[in-house]
Amino acid sequence: MLFVQAGDGYPYYARPRFPGGQPTVAEVLEVRERQRELGVPEAFEWVHETTPGLLDVARQAGLEVLRAPLLVLDPEKLPEPHPHVRVIGTSPAEVSVVAQLAFSSPGTAPGEAGTAERDAELTSATPTSTRHRHAVADLPGEGVLAVGTAQRAGDVVEIVGVGTLPAARRRGLGGAVTAELARDALARGAELVFLSAGSQEIARVYERVGFRRIATACIASA
């Protein structure tokens, strides 16, 4: 199944229908060819446990596959709110800038990029409109150090784009942002809150704030 971009919308990935069958290399190559015709990324996503045969097929078709822990929220395990984390309905420039700096240095280890690099990027950044919810860890005297986004479809919310400035890591801010987005989603009537983690190390950050692993999300790209 290939989602086709409408107007200025997001160019979504392709995925197998549920329940998953047994895709073939030829089918994956056919979808990739169609994606190239449409000028969209050659990207696929699926849950390994529902379509286990696609992993080897995707690799044989020339795709690199990230196996990401897929986690869901246990609401009763949410920690107490962080005093300097808040949810906002707009998307200030800090959200995209902090996320960009965070994902340029993936993982959980501390790094070089910090508030100076953030402020330098902010001089040319502009706010963007969005229909999603965002959370920021905005600490006195330091500004926004961590961010995250919640995307909603019906009564299901996915938390994405959680990132902390590398120089501000190991302070619990990424987990606090995630927990606040989850708490906000529940308050707004969400029945299910989930996310995927880039590695098991990152997954442990989310497990500490009430999420548990239920499956593996496969994210493939050319």
Handedness of CA 147, 151, 157, 159 (dihedral sign): negative
The domain limits of the chain are 1-62, 75-215
Q: Tell me, what's the pLDDT at 8?
A: 62
Contact 165, 102 (CB under 8 A): yes
pLDDT at 102 over 70: yes
Model-wide pTM > 0.85: yes
What letter would DSSP give residue 197? -
pLDDT in tens, 45-86: 999 999 999 999 999 999 999 999 999 999 999 999 999 999
Q: Tell me, what's the pLDDT at 9?
A: 60
Contact 2, 11 (CB under 8 A): no
Write down the residue that tokens 């330091």 correspond to: 142
Instruction: Provide mean pLDDT across the span 190-196.
Output: 98
Q: Tell me, what's the pLDDT at 131?
A: 81
pLDDT in tens, 147-180: 999 999 999 999 999 999 999 999 999 999 999 9
Q: Would you tell me which CATH number, out of the four given (3.40.630.30, 3.90.1170.50, 3.40.50.2000, 3.10.129.10), belongs to the domain 75-215?
A: 3.40.630.30
Q: Is 117 left (phi over 0), alpha (psi -120 to 50) or beta?
A: alpha
pLDDT in tens, 80-95: 999 999 999 887 899 9
Instruction: Provide mean pLDDT across the span 175-188.
Output: 98
